[in-house]
Chain A
C-alpha cells in the first residue's frame, strides 16, 4: 500500500505495463464516506484487476466491500491502460469525494489524466536506495520483492521458487501466485512477476 512508488524495473520501454490504484478515505471521514468507498470497491472489481486488496488472503469478493468500509482503503493493480483509464473516468463521473492515487510511470499517469480530465495534484518521487546497498539481492529479485510496499515478499522465497520452476515442479504463473500471497494489500502484479520468474529460471 504505502510505497508503491519504490517499485524497481518499470521503464518507458514498457509503457502501460502496470498501474496501481489506491483509493483512500481521510481517516476523519471514514464513517461518512462508508457508502462511497464501497462503491469504489464495486467499481474497481468491475474492471477485473490483476490483483486487489484481500485477494492474497483468499478473502471472498463479497467481503471486499465491508472490508473497504472498515479500512477506508481499496487497492488494486491493472496491467492494461484501457481498463484503468475507463475505471478512473467512471470514478471521476461518480465524484465520490475520495482521494485516488495512481502509481506507475509518470508518463502513463499523465496519459490517464489527459484522457479523463484530471490534473496531478501531489506527487511522491523516489530518489533511490542509499546506504548499505551491497546487502541487497540482485536486480531481478528486487523487481519482484519491491512490488510489495511493505517488503513482505522474501528474496529467499523468490530463489526457492525459481529453483522449483527450473526443476519443473511449478510454472512461472504458479510461482507468481505464491509470491503474491504475502502482500496483503494485493498490489503484486502477478503477470509481471510470472514474466520475471520465467526470465530468472532461464539464467
Chain B
C-alpha cells in the first residue's frame, strides 16, 4: 500500500485507522512505512481518504504477498480454501471429525492482538513445536511456508516479512497436552519477540462436558494465567437429522 503524493492533501485523517500504525508524517508528507505495513487492506477498504490517495500496487511481489495472505481476510489463502488466514479448524469438526477424543488441537496466534509479528518469530515457534512432538495440521497455511517439516524451519526468504498475525496449528496427544502447554508458555515468555494468543481445541464428552477447562484452570494457577470464561463451541448442528 502507498500514498499517492500528487493526490494527498495532508489532512492526516488516515493516521489512526491502520491497526499497526504504519502511516507516518515524514518530511511534511503523509507516507506509509513500507516495512511496517502488513498489507491488511484496512486503509483502502475504509474509504477514509476522500481524495483516493491511498493506493495499492497492481501486483504485490513475492515474498511480500505473504503479508496480505496472513493479514487481509479478503485475500484468498490458496492452501486453506477459506478466505483469510483462519482455517476451518474446529468450526466444522462435527462434519470432518479431525479433533478426536484422544487429541488436543493447539493454536498459537503470533502477533495477536494488534501487535503484529515478523515471520522470524513464527520460525522460532514452529521449531519449538516440532521439538516438543507437535504434529502440524495439514490444513494450516503455515505449512506452506516451511522449508523443512522435520525441523519446523521456515523458508529463509520469508523470515523478514511482517504480518498482522500467523497461526501455528498442531495436534498433541491429550495426555501430553498440559505438559506441552507449560513448556510453550515458558518458551513464548522468554524467547518470542511479540505477543502470542494461545488456545486449545478439544472434543467434549457425550454430555457436553469440559474436562480440558478444568486442567487449564489448574495449570493456570501454577503458571499465573486465567483461562477465559468464554470460547467457541461447535454445537454439533451438522449431526442433527
Which residues of A approach B to under 8 Å, CB–CB? 1-8, 10-12, 22-27, 29, 57, 71-73, 88, 91-92, 95-107, 109-110, 112-113, 118-133, 135-137, 142, 145-146, 149-157, 159-160, 181-182, 184-185
Q: Mark B73-94, 1 if CB is under 8 A from A, else 0.
A: 1100000011111111111111
Known contacts A118-B235, A130-B185, A156-B21; A95 and B85 CB within 8 A of each other: no
Which of B83, B85, B208, B232 interacts with A101 by CB under 8 Å?
B232
Q: Mark B197-222, 1 if CB is under 8 A from A, else 0.
A: 11111111011101011001000100
Which single residue of chain B is at the shortest CB-CB distance from A58? B47
Residues of chain B within 8 A of A130, CB atoms compared: 185, 188-189, 195-196, 198, 225
- B234 near A121 with CB under 8 A, answer yes
- A126 near B74 with CB under 8 A, answer no
- A10 near B230 with CB under 8 A, answer yes
- B189 near A131 with CB under 8 A, answer yes
Highest count of chain A CB atoms <10 Å: which of B83, B88, B92, B220: B92
Q: How far is the CB of A119 from chain B (nearest CB, A)?
A: 4
- A182 near B81 with CB under 8 A, answer no
- B19 near A100 with CB under 8 A, answer no
Residues of chain B within 8 A of A105, CB atoms compared: 229-230
26 contacts between A and B (CB under 8 A): A2-B87, A5-B231, A6-B197, A27-B81, A88-B237, A95-B240, A99-B94, A100-B235, A112-B235, A119-B206, A119-B236, A120-B210, A121-B93, A121-B234, A122-B201, A124-B90, A125-B213, A126-B230, A128-B197, A128-B227, A129-B197, A130-B188, A130-B225, A131-B192, A131-B194, A152-B42
- A5 near B208 with CB under 8 A, answer no
Number of residues in B with C-beta < 8 Å to the partner? 83
Which single residue of chain B is at the shortest CB-CB distance from A153? B19
Which single residue of chain B is at the shortest CB-CB distance from A4? B232
Say whether B114 faces chain A, with CB atoms less than 8 Å apart.
yes
- A100 near B231 with CB under 8 A, answer no
Query: What total of A-B pairs shows CB separation below 8 Å?
Result: 285
Instruction: Label chain A's interface by main secondary structure.
Output: mixed
Listed from nearest, the 9 A-B pairs whose CB atoms lie closest are: A2-B86, A121-B236, A120-B208, A100-B237, A160-B16, A124-B232, A5-B232, A156-B16, A27-B81
Say whether B181 faces chain A, with CB atoms less than 8 Å apart.
yes
Q: How far is it, in angstroms, between the C-alpha of A11 and the C-alpha of B93 when the chains are bound?
A: 27
- B82 near A27 with CB under 8 A, answer yes
What would 5 more interface pairs be, CB under 8 Å, given A120-B204, A125-B231, A184-B74?
A: A2-B167, A112-B235, A121-B94, A125-B210, A125-B216
Which of B73, B91, B107, B112 interacts with A99 by CB under 8 Å?
B91
- B82 near A151 with CB under 8 A, answer no
Which single residue of chain B is at the shortest CB-CB distance from A136? B195
- A107 near B201 with CB under 8 A, answer no
- B115 near A132 with CB under 8 A, answer yes
Residues of chain A within 8 A of B227, CB atoms compared: 125-128
Known contacts A26-B96, A152-B42; A127 and B200 CB within 8 A of each other: yes
Q: How far is it, in angstroms, between the C-alpha of A105 and the C-alpha of B194 when the chains are bound?
A: 27
Residues of chain A within 8 A of B208, CB atoms compared: 110, 113, 119-121
